[in-house]
Structure 1
Amino acid sequence: MSEFPVVSTGENVTRQVLSDHPDLMVVAFRFAAEGAVGALHHHPHIQSTYVKSGRFRFTIGDEQREVGPGDSFVVSTEVTHGCVCLEPGTLVDCFTPRRDDFL
């Protein structure tokens, strides 16, 4: 179990830092209901996302894609991205460097 708290990031969405180092951070985002939203945003970090469970429709830049268990992808720095939950589940994101705003 992670020593980091579970933090609400929106209706039916939470995040929990699983591990961190100044160069890398692993974070679980849990979506509890269909229609829950990971709001569009961008940041200077490179992000990789692994779909542990559930189904999601992602917007990455000008592209939309639907992803499910076992899928993964990378979001480059400053690219606007976000998602809508199609089936409840968990995303595991890695960020480099660490997202200090999550600590």
Structure 2
Amino acid sequence: MSQFFPTPAECGRHVVFGTVPIRTYAGDGLQLSLVDIPAGGVVDWHSHPQEQMGMMVSGRALFEVGDEVQELGPGDFYRIPGGVRHRVTAPAGAAQALDVFHPVRDEYR
């Protein structure tokens, strides 16, 4: 077991919003979450106290953050301040995003 290179077995695995698998890894103050949104998948309206930033890895997704709506694709960044309602959908095909949370979301360790 390495303190610098986690194995897949050391990562958290969860399913959020019924159909969206995520793989997570947390350090002392921040957390990564690799999100695989299936075609037609929805990460429905929610908010959390943690700040969230990320980047689209593949596919396209529609982000609704506060009162703004933006379709993002590979390489596009996003920022969601803590406490702001948001929703993400992948209406045209599967999409993958890498989220970063600060502080750590303990429920997704």
User: Same fold judged by TM-score > 0.5?
Assistant: yes
Which structure has the larger Rg over C-alpha atoms? Answer: 2
CA-CA distance at 1:7 after TM superposition:
1.7
State which of 34, 41, 59 in structure 2 corresponds to 1:36: 41
- 1:82-101 to 2 correspondences below 5 Å: 82-86=87-91, 87-101=93-107
CA-CA distance at 1:11 after TM superposition:
4.4
CA-CA distance at 1:83 after TM superposition:
0.7
Structure 2 CA distance, aligned partners of 1:101 and 1:9?
A: 11
CA-CA distance at 1:45 after TM superposition:
0.5
- 1:5-44 to 2 correspondences below 5 Å: 5-17=12-24, 19-33=25-39, 35-44=40-49
Runs of 4+ in 1 over 3 A off after TM superposition: none
Match of 1:70 in 2: 75
Identity of aligned residues (%): 29
CA-CA distance at 1:5 after TM superposition:
4.1
Unpaired segments ≥5 residues, structure 1:
none
User: Conserved in 2, the CA contact under 8 Å of 1:54 and 1:90?
Assistant: yes
Structure 1 CA distance, aligned partners of 2:102 and 2:15?
A: 22
User: Conserved in 2, the CA contact under 8 Å of 1:25 and 1:98?
Assistant: yes
Match of 2:58 in 1: 53
Structure 1 CA distance, aligned partners of 2:63 and 2:79?
A: 12
> SS state of the match for residue 69, structure 2?
strand
Q: May I ask how many residue pairs the two structures share in their alignment?
A: 101
Give the TM-score normalised by structure 2: 0.85
CA RMSD, Structure 1 to Structure 2 (Å): 1.4
